Amino acid sequence: MKNLKALMFSLFLVPLVTVGQEEEEDYSIYDNLEYADESSTTFVSPKIIGLSPNRFINVAWDVQSPYTMSVSDTLGYAPDASWSAKESSNVSYTGGLRVNANIPVISRNNIVWQMGANYMNTNFRVDEANGDPILSELKRRSLNTAGLFTTVFKPLNDKQFLIFQGQADYNGNYTFGDFHSFGLTKYSAAILWGKSPHDRLQWAIGATRTYRVGELNYVPIVMYNWTSKREKWGTEILFPARAHGKYWVNKSSLIMFGYELEGGSYNLSGLSNNGNSFELRRGEVRPRIEWNRKLVGFFWLNAQLGARINYGFAYDELENGKEFFRGFFGQQEIEAFSSLGTSLYGLVGISFVSL
Amino acid sequence: MKNYFFKTQVLALSVFILWGCGKSEPIQTDVQRLETIAVGPLFEGVNTATVEFDIQKVLPKEVKKEQLSEVRIKSIQLGLADSAAPVPNSFTVLLASPNTSMKECGFIQEDSIKMNNYNVSLAEEQDFLLEILQDKMQTLVIDFNLEGEYFDDYAVTAAIDWELKFKK
Amino acid sequence: MKKFKTLAIILAGLFLFTSMSDKTEEGDKLIGVWEPSNKKIYLKIDKISGKYYGKIVWLREPIDPVTGKPKTDKNNPDESLKNVPLKGFRMLKDFVYKGNGEWADGTIYDPQNGSTYNCVIKLRDDNTLDIRGYIGLKTFGRTDVWKRLVTKKKK
């Protein structure tokens, strides 16, 4: 038994006896180091210092103050034609829920790929439709947007990068028991090439296919994200979609000021007949002030206050649901027009973010 | 009637005992002196000296560390065990334990060291200390920045003045 | 029979001890100086009381361009720790070796925004690490590649 104990004890002692290495080592400053094998490649980061929080998940509620909506009749108009209102109504409430999720699929130093989904509901409380078909249709059901999108950030080296974004939006006044054709889904995309000369600046140029102001368009885009040396002031611009100045009050509080374009093309099911799609081409400009505030951990509050200025609220009838490109210079007929008075808007949301 | 008063007294006594149990009492302890060691030879730049200890050894016999209810560090005074050893540019003091996260307790900047002030600027938030001290053992970690290499072991002393309270 | 039992106990103990030593040796492969892919800092990872910690030992740009002084942890959520020098700052904390070249249960701190993230480290090879910082779920995170640095040998 004694021998057994001695044997066990000696076994435990074995690793404590180490053989010291005799080679000479240089214990001077850390400047004098070399790679054990080869260095890694440095890739430009998708973020700059002082960028606003990246929202993984966001839930918000948007609401507008009352305004007057006027509609023309549905006789068909040239794009630049003048028109007169056939019917008007006060819209006492406009707003609804917005949910957005943007989840990394691959997130490494040499590529970032994110996929996301968003849902937006806009309810128009039209007070007096007076039998007008368009006002009645907007009063009947709210507008929904359900979208899927993907974004790829591909660094080319330590300064240059590419961004690709693709999006599919299913827009209309459908309900979850009454969907319109999925063939009416709208597709958008953007591609940019950019540079990040230092860790407080990134800029890029590119082009986009977009429905952002209601109807299909192809426009150039410019990105310019910059933060000052003191990490207080800066800009976050993706022109023409949005442009903001920003000010970091402290690391838990960020104020942004600028504007964003919103919009889309929505199928109005009650006015769509014979296989055609009667579509609302809605676009608006929202100048605003935005406050982002850390609540706890990685949950932030987002509050916006601004104006909703109507950019476009016209209607097209798509034959057999087939989209067409009018752009800035096309002369295809517009089915009807609406005008919306400017209103104030507010939005409050909570986001799960990464800095 | 008698029964009613008796029950009331028992209730009052229970409340008093429970209230007494919930009340924290201060513990009188001496300043704890620890010596951390960084085993040489050391690089120029940032190096680390550590020592493991158990706060139980500082507490009175009748107090178990699990009874600690409030912990604060009033002050930490650092020193060099060997007066001939090179003086660092800065110190950072941290505490760790097996089942908690390592946390910064404070630091000493270059300006203070130049003025021979080795009093640690302490962190405002010290809530983490309770969990660390209630763990089975603690490790004091001192990171220090040397201007040149040093070929011997390097010892940094720490005199920690604790403010401790416990619940019976 | 008794002798057989004794031998079995010895062999079992030897096996257990060897595997524990192997695990410690494997875990210690994390120890050393490492460079993230942005090449802005060097981190030295060491072992304290059985867990692994990493501190900044070198910065490519050690001076703050605004203050002209050595960089400090100016974005620390605790105001009283905003002047802690970045050189020497413990960015990686509390890692435990889990086997199969993986260290977990630790955190990584980003001095650029004062945020602490959960973190997992994987050894891709003896000189390459995959460091993934994340929030809550590993999905909400980003992986960086770190390379080992060694001291130049005197000729």
Query: B99-116, pLDDT tens digit by residue?
Result: 999 999 999 999 999 999
Residues of chain A with pLDDT under 50: 2, 4-27
Q: Does A60 touch chain C (CB under 8 A)?
A: no
* pLDDT for the residue B132: 97
Please report where in the chains the tokens 């690391």 appear, as a residue.
Answer: A251
Q: Do C37 and A109 touch (CB under 8 A)?
A: yes
Question: CA A306 to CA A257: how far, in whole Å?
Answer: 10
* pLDDT for the residue B18: 55
Q: Is the predicted pLDDT of residue B17 greater than 80, yes or no?
A: no
Q: Does A38 touch chain C (CB under 8 A)?
A: yes
Rounded to an integer, the average pLDDT of C50-79 is 95
Contacts of B151 in chain A (CB under 8 A): 27
**What is the end-to-end Cα distance of chain A in Å, rounded?**
63
Size of interface A-C (CB pairs under 8 A): 111
* pLDDT for the residue A11: 42
Rounded to an integer, the average pLDDT of B48-56 is 96
Q: Is C87 a domain residue? A: yes
Question: CA B54 to CA B36: how far, in whole Å?
Answer: 14
In angstroms, what separates the C-alpha of B42 from chain C's closest C-alpha? 13
Element (H, E) at C149: strand C137-151
Rounded to an integer, the average pLDDT of C81-87 is 95
Question: CA C28 to CA C52: how far, in whole Å?
Answer: 9
Q: Is the predicted pLDDT of residue B19 greater than 60, yes or no?
A: no
Q: Do C153 and A26 touch (CB under 8 A)?
A: yes
Q: Is C121 a domain residue? A: yes
Amino acid at A155: P
Give the number of residues written for chain A.
355
Token readout for B143 is 């990171």
Q: Is the predicted pLDDT of residue B21 greater than 60, yes or no?
A: no
**Which chains does chain A touch, 3 or more C-beta pairs < 8 A?**
B, C
Element (H, E) at A224: strand A217-227
What percent of chain C stands above pLDDT 70?
Answer: 98
In angstroms, what separates the C-alpha of B13 from chain A's closest C-alpha? 42
- The beta strand positions in C2-73, using DSSP E, are 32-35, 41-48, 51-59
* pLDDT for the residue A15: 35
Q: Do A36 and C150 touch (CB under 8 A)?
A: yes
In angstroms, what separates the C-alpha of B63 from chain C's closest C-alpha? 26
Give the number of residues written for chain B.
168
Please report where in the chains the tokens 């620890």 appear, as a residue.
Answer: B34
* Predicted complex ipTM: 0.87
Q: Is C94 a domain residue? A: yes
Largest CA distance in chain B: 84
* pLDDT for the residue B14: 64
Q: Do B98 and C53 touch (CB under 8 A)?
A: no
Query: B76-91, pLDDT tens digit by residue?
Result: 999 999 988 999 999 9
DSSP track, A69-95: EEE--SS-B-TT-----SEEEEEEEEE
Query: C45-56, pLDDT tens digit by residue?
Result: 999 999 999 999
Q: Do A112 and C57 touch (CB under 8 A)?
A: no
Contacts of C35 in chain A (CB under 8 A): 35, 39-40
Q: Do residues A353 and A55 lie in contact, with contact meaning Cβ atoms separated by under 8 Å? A: yes
Largest CA distance in chain C: 79
* pLDDT for the residue A26: 47
Q: Do residues A234 and A225 lie in contact, with contact meaning Cβ atoms separated by under 8 Å? A: yes
* pLDDT for the residue A277: 96
* pLDDT for the residue C14: 75
Q: Is the predicted pLDDT of residue B4 greater than 50, yes or no?
A: yes
CATH number at B26-167 = 2.60.120
Q: Do A27 and B42 touch (CB under 8 A)?
A: yes
Query: Any idea what the CATH number is for the domain that residue C91 is in?
Result: 2.40.128.520
Question: CA C141 to CA C119: how far, in whole Å?
Answer: 9
Out of C58, C78, C93, whose CB is closest to B45? C58
Query: B128-156, pLDDT tens digit by residue?
Result: 999 999 999 999 999 999 999 899 999 99
Question: CA A324 to CA A186: how far, in whole Å?
Answer: 11
What domains can you pick out in chain A, each with its CATH number?
Answer: 54-354 (2.40.160.40)
Contacts of A29 in chain B (CB under 8 A): 43-45
Q: Do residues A315 and A281 lie in contact, with contact meaning Cβ atoms separated by under 8 Å? A: yes
In angstroms, what separates the C-alpha of B50 from chain A's closest C-alpha? 20
Out of A11, A45, A230, whose CB is closest to C13? A11
Domain region containing C89: 27-149
In angstroms, what separates the C-alpha of B31 from chain C's closest C-alpha? 23
Query: A110-129, pLDDT tens digit by residue?
Result: 999 999 999 999 999 999 99
Token readout for A52 is 């606003």
Q: Do residues C147 and A35 lie in contact, with contact meaning Cβ atoms separated by under 8 Å? A: yes
Contacts of A49 in chain C (CB under 8 A): 112
Domains held by chain C: number: 1
Q: Does B40 touch chain A (CB under 8 A)?
A: no
